[in-house]
Amino acid sequence: MFSSSERILVTGGAGFIGSAVVRALFRNTDARIINADKLTYAGDLASVAEASASDRYVFEHADVCDGKMLSRIFRTHQPTAVLHLAAESHVDRSINGAAEFIRTNVVGTQTLLDVARSYWSELDGDRKQGFRFHHVSTDEVYGSLDDSGFFTEESAYRPNSPYAASKASSDHLVHAWHRTYGLPAIITNCSNNYGPYQFPEKLIPLMICQALDGKSLPVYGSGRNVRDWLYVEDHASALITVLRRGRPGETYNIGGSAETANIDLVERLCSVLDRLHPDAEGPYRRLITFVPDRPGHDFRYAIDYAKIKRELGWHPRETLEGGIEKTVRWYLANRRWTDRIRSRNYDGRRLGLVASGAW
């Protein structure tokens, strides 16, 4: 793993996946960690509190679109690698306001690439040879599957939402900076993440929080849309493995082997809540409500992660059953965190309707 001589710049390190990466680097390596985050509505430094007092960790309040700030961060901290996770990530928000997704995910990635390339080009010897730029992306760039098949690293890009289009654009930029300028860049595309510290606009924490508040559990359309679920700590492990051992110019898909229809997932969450935190009013599934579908809702995502397993030896360790149990227990034990986040940044209202509407 990474030694004390390594300095890893994590963009978006106060977000959901980014903070899991920061925690994993702090717990499992000796590397120094530079966390650069804008602290938007979804960023929270409480998620990296365990690292904050260490001399191995430093926080930089920074926007990836600010080239001057990024240049200062590179000059000051001299990173040996970049893990780029800073992004707008919620599909529903992208439907209501695509501009911020284009700004952060496309312009921000291009700005970071330019600063990283300038910095890398001035390195020499082993420092230049060992530098890596790891861009973290999503399976949504591949579009939608029907009942069969899997996304592979060779799948064509067919993004269907503004969010997916912005991430596809950023993937293409990273690939181009590698091919054109030689920047030693790697791309990973992952399936749906879940776990501790996820902002409660996303499906799993939203269902948990709504259920605990006795509110409706909104399921889009028929609820038969399928997602492959990846526990966030498994994802963090995969990202560190790719950063350490992945080959520049390559793409690696990261999946959880946990395909589940949305309605089945919500019912599973209800069952776990019934067992761990029973409601006097009755089973939580009574709160399930079917609502108008998301515009352009992709039917199914499924990842073939054979390449990363074969070449780098990574595979998911957490089952969906075990991961859901851990996640529900975490949210039950951290209601003060979710209450603070929701009162400050998100009141639970539905986003992503083309026409105005509510549950």
Cite the active site residues: 139-140, 163
CA distance 107 to 346: 26
Q: Where are the extended beta strands (E) located within the chain?
A: 7-11, 32-37, 57-61, 81-84, 132-138, 185-190, 192-194, 217-220, 226-231, 251-254, 259-261, 288-291
132 beta partners? 81
Residue 178 CB coordination number (10 Å): 21
CA distance 322 to 261: 17
CA distance 200 to 222: 22
Residue 24: which H helix or E strand, with range?
helix 16-28
CA distance 220 to 184: 41
Residue 354 CB coordination number (10 Å): 11
β-pairing, 7-11 with 32-37? parallel
What's the angle, vertex CA 112, arms to CA 110 and CA 118, rounded to 5? 100
CA distance 103 to 134: 20
What would you measure as the largest C-alpha separation in the chain, in angstroms? 67
Q: Which amino acid appears at position 238 of this protein?
A: A
CA distance 314 to 270: 31
CA distance 48 to 44: 8
Q: Are 242 and 186 in contact (CB under 8 A)?
A: yes
Give me 270's structure tokens. Answer: 């209800």
Give me 246's structure tokens. Answer: 């992945």
Residue 26's nearest CA partner among 15, 16, 34 is 34
